[in-house]
Amino acid sequence: MSKYIERFSPSERVLHWVVTCSFFTLLFTGLGLYSRLFHGYFGLFGGGQNAIFIHKVGGVIFFFSSLYMFINHKKDVSSFDDADWQWIRKYGGYLTKYGTHFDIGKYNPGQKLFAVFIAAATLLLGVTGLFIWMPTAFPRWIVQLSLMTHGLMFVGAIMFVVVHVYLATIGNPGTIEAMLYGAVRKIWAKKHHPKWYKDVTGENP
Ligand code: HEM
């Protein structure tokens, strides 16, 4: 009997890595646009003009792929049940040394919050990005407000992503296998997502 169960299909994984690659491309092409301190990053892309061009192309790819990923996840991230509230009240068990058990479905509340935040940030980054892309086509105050919102959303997104990457790798060993190979160990699923394990296998964890 296999020790693994499927968590993500190949197309879900490809979509996640397209979102990730475009996100980090936007990060490195965008940093130099915010401050001279980061102009060195332009060198990675063959100069400032190229970096701006790649930022625009990356922005379009990120916008559509990230929103599409959210649409795929929507049913799993848009509602909270009793176990989720319990998870929130106990901070996911991260602040206690005692073993905790929450009857969590496919995603825990932290993951749900992250997915919803990234979708909202994607929308705002996309819309404000469009105003910044064509600054002469819109009133000056709209472009200025867009520059500020674009920056704030970027800072929020990068903070969430740093936590996401930590929890998906070092923080919760075994999680990265889901996005690399599409399957997770049953023991991992029983520990982190027991309700999802039961829904998928029909077995009581
Ligand atoms: C090197 C960078 C990244 C790694 C290693 C990584 C890893 C993962 C893993 C392992 C999962 C599956 C979690 C599970 O099965 O419970 C996941 C899910 C997800 N990832 Fe990433 N990810 C990265 C970057 C990103 C970025 C940049 C975004 C969006 C901007 C993103 C958005 C999501 C979302 C929305 C989910 C589903 C909900 C969740 O698990 O939080 N990821 N990621």
Q: Which protein residues touch ligand 1 with a CB less than 6 Å away?
A: 7, 16, 19-20, 23, 73, 107, 111, 114-115, 118, 161, 164-165, 168-169, 175-176, 178-179
- Ligand 1 nearest atom to the CA of residue 176, by list position: 10
Dig out the tokens for 189 from the structure: 């699923």
pLDDT digits (tens, 9 = 90+) for 19-44: 999 999 999 999 998 888 999 999 99
Residue nearest to atom 20 of ligand 1 (CA): 16
Percent of the chain with pLDDT over 90: 89
Q: Which amino acid is at 134?
A: M
pLDDT digits (tens, 9 = 90+) for 167-176: 999 999 999 9
Query: How many whole angstroms separate alpha carbon 120 and alpha carbon 129?
Result: 14
Domains of the chain, with CATH numbers?
Answer: 4-201 (1.20.950.20)
pTM here? 0.94
Taking 80 as the threshold, does the pLDDT of residue 200 lie above it? yes
Q: Would you place residue 102 in the very low, low, confident or very high pLDDT band (cuts 50, 70, 90)?
A: very high
pLDDT digits (tens, 9 = 90+) for 109-147: 999 999 999 999 999 999 999 999 999 999 999 999 999
pLDDT digits (tens, 9 = 90+) for 63-91: 999 999 999 999 999 999 999 999 999 98
Question: What are the residues facing 6 on neighbouring strands?
Answer: 183
pLDDT at 98 (0 to 100): 79
Handedness of CA 139, 154, 176, 5 (dihedral sign): negative
- The CA 22 to ligand 1 mean position distance, Å, reads 13
pLDDT at 124 (0 to 100): 98
